[in-house]
Amino acid sequence: MSVLVGKKAPSFKAKAVVDGQIVEEFSLDQYLGKQYVVLFFYPKDFTFVCPTELHAFQKHLADFQERNVAVVGCSTDTEFSHLAWTQVVKNAGGIKGVTYPLVADTNKTISSNYDVLVGQWTLDENDNLAADGELIAYRGLFLIDREGVVQHQVVNNLPLGRSVTEVLRMVDALQHFENHGEVCPMDWHKGEDAMKPTFAGVSSYLSSN
């Protein structure tokens, strides 16, 4: 599993569903220099754990917006599957009401570049693709700063849902560090005391941002 922290987030252009509409060329590049991004991958539309996460991000969307963070979901389903799912009500297993972008990684390249793609695949002598099981995404999540650099990542196996409040905590910690130059200890929350750093890596980061 690749560690992308400290590196530029892989760029992509793909179809997406945004607030009930299909967008032909969606890219994270639109946020560069303007907003932070929480990019999260989920395994599959019309499943069980996934809608609980998608609804949770929607419930807290205003909290992310207050922090100047764009929330973007991504799975290996098609844009048509995403669109259909957004039209199904919550109590029927749907995600109606989700307005943030849902990227369609139909050719699996985005999941592969972020190293969250589940499954094994090979090319035979005729360049035919052979896959061992479905090719879907782990529950990967990447916090990307305004310069397009990954500052936090977490990858869960398929049965394990994530915590949106923990994602917000990590956003707060990153922004506190950027604004005050203080590092945040374990279980730090916004408004609590942080610590003055004494190591050179922090100074180097601050000087470049």
Same domain membership, residue 155 and residue 64: yes
Per-residue pLDDT reduced to its tens digit, 118-146:
987 666 666 665 667 688 999 999 999 99
Maximum distance among all Cα pairs of the chain, rounded to whole angstroms = 61
Look at residue 168 and tell me if it is in a domain.
yes
Per-residue pLDDT reduced to its tens digit, 46-92:
999 999 999 999 999 999 999 999 999 999 999 999 999 999 999 99
Per annotation, catalytic residue among 4, 37, 50, 164: 50
Per-residue pLDDT reduced to its tens digit, 99-122:
999 999 999 999 999 999 998 766
How many angstroms from the chain centroid is the CA of residue 101? 11
Question: Tokens 């610590």 belong to which residue?
Answer: 195
Question: Tokens 């999941």 belong to which residue?
Answer: 111
E-only strand ranges, 48-198: 69-75, 102-104, 117-123, 129-137, 139-144, 150-156
Q: Give the global pTM.
A: 0.89
**Structural domains of the chain, count:** 2
Same domain membership, residue 152 and residue 102: yes
Look at residue 1 and tell me if it is in a domain.
no
Catalytic residue status for 74: no
Same domain membership, residue 143 and residue 54: yes
- How many whole angstroms separate alpha carbon 21 and alpha carbon 82? 10
Same domain membership, residue 170 and residue 107: no
Range of the domain at 156: 14-160
Per-residue pLDDT reduced to its tens digit, 162-186:
999 999 999 999 999 998 887 888 9
| Rg of the chain over all Cα atoms, to the nearest angstrom | 18
CATH number at residue 107: 3.40.30.10
